[in-house]
Structure 1
Amino acid sequence: MIIKPILYAIILYFCVCFPSRLAAMLTSFIEGLLCCLTSKPANTVVPVDTSEPADGYEFVEVKPGRVLRVRHIIPDRPAVEEPSLGGIVSCKRKITVYRNGQLFIENLGERASAELKTCQNGETEPNSMVEVELTDCRNSSPPQPRKRRRKPKRTVVIDCERRIAACKGTHSDVALFFIHGVGGSLDIWGSQLDFFSRLGYEVIAPDLAGHGASSSPHITAAYTFYALAEDMRLIFKRYAKKRNILIGHSYGVSFCTFLAHEFPDQIHKMVMINGGGPTALEPSLCSIFNLPTCVLHCLSPLLAWSFLKAGFARQGSREKQLLKEYNAFNVSSFVLRAMMSGQYWPEGDEVYHAELTVPVLLVHGMHDKFVPVEEDQRMAEILLMAFLKVLEDGSHMVMLECPEAVNTLLHEFFLWEPVTLPPPKKEPKARPETAKPQTDNTSEPATVRPATARQT
């Protein structure tokens, strides 16, 4: 009991004699040491107090004792417009996975036949899976492609049609869902929520458990991927409309993909912001987040500084103010450790992502040190309908660094619809020679050429 007053006296002394940053680091270290000595959590795991107005904020109890804060804005819309018909996209794919881990994706068009085709130069078309073996070039006859008979481990065939129309804020059947990642909160979407609500869109943005003003249960199982995904599923069922657009950032992209599989008919479009590659989630065994909670609390100033260096293209006073204003990376050490160790999702592999038939916009910050651009490029290759946009001035927190550019990209994507080509016109069949109608000279007089125009 005597240790606490002594430690707090030391903290007060350093706060007076040293700069604020050093005092904050020392305060965090002393609290972590106190946590280790007393075997008590360093952070009080309760919802964060918020000074924001209550307008637009709701607290939803997804499970007994598990309460999430949700920002839900229903703007006053003008006269409702009828949604455009849009275009119909044929989604025909054949996904084959072999035992050696190779993945072959066949995009089948309407004219594609069951047999594999080859080009005139002997190379295979992108839709085919024929493997060509090299032969002696001295032979006069061109090499014939030969199929290797390999038994596939798994084959998935997708054959459906999707009607994709423009989504405007005046459409009452459209809702936008924003899902943040690890260490964030719904506040990081502040610019997007205000922008699209002013355009007439209905927006929904929840706080994940342990983040923002949501409840933070002190149990590790409450922060696994499946527990958080179930929360997002219940939130989606509560606020979903007929046409819904999912916008996810970082870890939140995985929850958007999960919802797109759970509700394929209700998800109209999806946006992935710095979400990474189409790989299954698995926690790293050699990670700093495997350290005890009290040690992580001692290192929290260092972790916050590392997040500022890797999450922003520039590290100035503006970026520090953005972290403070939007409540980013402001979670307890226990929640941070449980979130990183709970990222186990073996189903979310390449095949799982390749099965998506929803149009996807990929937004990537060029200076992102958490997610390389190659991962988003791989995601664009795997998805059926994907558009990759790279912002040169952004990093991992691109929605905070370049809000205007992100809002413009998202709005253009919401209004995008595929062009429906008209059906080809059938050429009239030529009549036989005997069936040609004879010209009537009495109806129209024949044109007589002048004498000077006649050929001799």
Structure 2
Amino acid sequence: MLTSFMQGLLCCLTSKSANVVVPADTSESTDGYEFVEVKPGRVLRVRHIIPDRPVVEEPTGPGGTVSCKRKITVYRNGQLFIDNLGDRASAELKNCQNGEAEPNNTVEVELTDCGKSSAPVSIPDAGSEPVTTGKDGTDETAAGGGETPAAGQTDQSQQLRKCRRKPKRTVVIDCERKISACKGTHADVALFFIHGVGGSLDIWKSQVDFFSRLGYEVISPDLAGHGASSAPQIVAAYTFYALAEDMRLIFKRYARKRNILIGHSYGVSFCTFLAHEYPEQIHKMVMINGGGPTALEPSICSIFNLPTCVLHCLSPLLAWSFLKAGFARQGAKEKQLLKDNNVFNVSSFVLRAMMSGQYWPEGDEVYHAELTVPILLVHGMHDKFVPIEEDQRMAEILLMAFLKVLEDGSHMVMMECPEAVNTLLHEFILWEPTTPPPQKKESKTRPETAKAQSDNIKDDPSEEKPNSKAKK
């Protein structure tokens, strides 16, 4: 503590930040690590693993096609109205209790009301039918039960309709996505792992090792100022748009035909950004403790607005607070995980710039509702940074979303429960929707004449008179 205080005092006197991470001079790949210069003087460390595998260029399975047709309307009173237009809107995913396809449905959501959310929904097991969270806050399997709403709910819905005036913004989505299982033997599949504030690519060690052994190509970068990436001493270098541009350049460098994005916390926002920039190349997404579908805006009353030297003096307290809020249990094992995986080991300057640079007004609920990619939401039950209501809200807004809650995990669930997270991710990566068989068209045959019908009746020995009398 005394050492930290002296370093912070020296930081204030010299106007320099301590603990600045400097990348290695070489850009050659060593043990799967590469240093990529995204901009002059801006170098990111990237772990890139291409495992040895048999060459299978095309997927072995046929896959399935999902229809994405919806109309999103935002009114000036803050009301969000989602209308699923297609006759087969996610019919491959959503089934009523009687087995028939779910009819068209509409959704009315208040943008300012985040307290009313649906219950968590589990991802389907491998080989089973998936269950998604309904856009009206109920499970899709119960959407066609035919239950009539209560009188209070009817009055409330009528009041919401009366509040609507002229729409402020209208977005129409009409497309079809082909979704197939992504196996490690397919050379056109790449997995991208993106960490959040205070993390590093080392937090994905269990996931990177697991999927590389299965034959997947894995890419995991260090954000600027984190891990072994360069740490520019400019506040503008850590805004959302600057970091998102870094991730875009990394994606363009390593992207394959089918790419799966896995983000944690703040990294989920970069995955959402990439899904909008490259909708045809993003095959699936995984959001781990990413929070609700709200636009980013830095908090005015935050401890991270304090001067850098003060934050440096408080760094032991901040690390202890992160341990308490980020892990379900706080013991020697968790402390060692923080140390081994290089978590919360960033300079005070970078930490302050990252928190104050989280400004992304475009990332609102409409922005997330436009996503048509299948998304797995993973939430740690003991997470004190992101409430479960936010991930439930995300599941309501997204078109195809599976929400899975891990009871033994917290914010750093990929480090606390690596086996469970790896299993969930692998099942989701291998999942593909089942396309219903095409409907058989009725054969159009020429009608028989009255004489031919009477001849058939006479020639049929099975036709008995008593039966004909009984019919009369």
| TM > 0.5 fold call | yes
* 2:23–2:43 Cα contact (<8 Å) kept: no
Q: Does 1:66 align with 2:81?
A: no
* 1:71–1:205 Cα contact (<8 Å) kept: yes
Quote the residue 1:78 is aligned against: 54
Quote the residue 1:191 is aligned against: 206
C-alpha distance in 1 between matches for 2:182 and 2:454: 54
Structure 1: runs of 5+ lacking an equivalent: 1-24, 113-123, 136-142, 450-454
| CA apart distance, 1:215 | 0.5
Alignment of 1:7-406 (within 5 A): 25-47=1-23, 54-80=30-56, 82-83=58-59, 84-110=61-87, 126-127=105-106, 150-406=165-421
* 1:47–1:210 Cα contact (<8 Å) kept: no
C-alpha distance in 2 between matches for 1:386 and 1:220: 35
Moved more, 431-440 or 168-177: 431-440
Distance 1:390 1:148, change over 3 A: closer
| One-letter code aligned to 2:226 | H
C-alpha RMSD over aligned residues? 2.9
Bigger-Rg structure (1/2): 1
Distance 1:345 1:403, change over 3 A: same
| CA apart distance, 1:110 | 1.6
| One-letter code aligned to 1:375 | E
| One-letter code aligned to 1:63 | K
2:427 equivalent among 412, 417, 441: 412
Distance 1:288 1:176, change over 3 A: same
Aligned residue pair count: 401
| CA apart distance, 1:447 | 7.1
Quote the residue 2:140 is aligned against: none
| % identical aligned pairs | 83
* 2:54–2:185 Cα contact (<8 Å) kept: yes
Distance 1:322 1:157, change over 3 A: same
C-alpha distance in 1 between matches for 2:411 and 2:439: 46
CA-to-aligned-CA distance 1:93-146 (integer Å, 9 cap, x gap): 11010001111111122279xxxxxxxxxxx9842779x9x99xxxxxxx9x98
* 1:45–1:218 Cα contact (<8 Å) kept: no
CA-to-aligned-CA distance 1:180-204 (integer Å, 9 cap, x gap): 0000000000000000000000000
C-alpha distance in 2 between matches for 1:291 and 1:129: 41
| CA apart distance, 1:30 | 1.6
Please state whether the residue corresponding to 1:419 is helix, strand or coil.
coil
Please state whether the residue corresponding to 1:420 is helix, strand or coil.
coil
Distance 1:128 1:292, change over 3 A: closer
| CA apart distance, 1:235 | 0.3
Structure 2: runs of 5+ lacking an equivalent: 90-102, 110-148, 153-157, 465-469
| One-letter code aligned to 1:127 | T
Higher relative contact order (CA 8 A, sep 6+): 2
Give the TM-score normalised by structure 2.
0.80
Quote the residue 1:5 is aligned against: none
* 1:272–1:362 Cα contact (<8 Å) kept: yes
Please state whether the residue corresponding to 1:302 is helix, strand or coil.
helix
Distance 1:360 1:162, change over 3 A: same
C-alpha distance in 2 between matches for 1:128 and 1:217: 45
| One-letter code aligned to 1:155 | T
* 2:239–2:353 Cα contact (<8 Å) kept: yes
C-alpha distance in 1 between matches for 2:390 and 2:425: 20
Distance 1:287 1:164, change over 3 A: same
* 2:21–2:226 Cα contact (<8 Å) kept: no
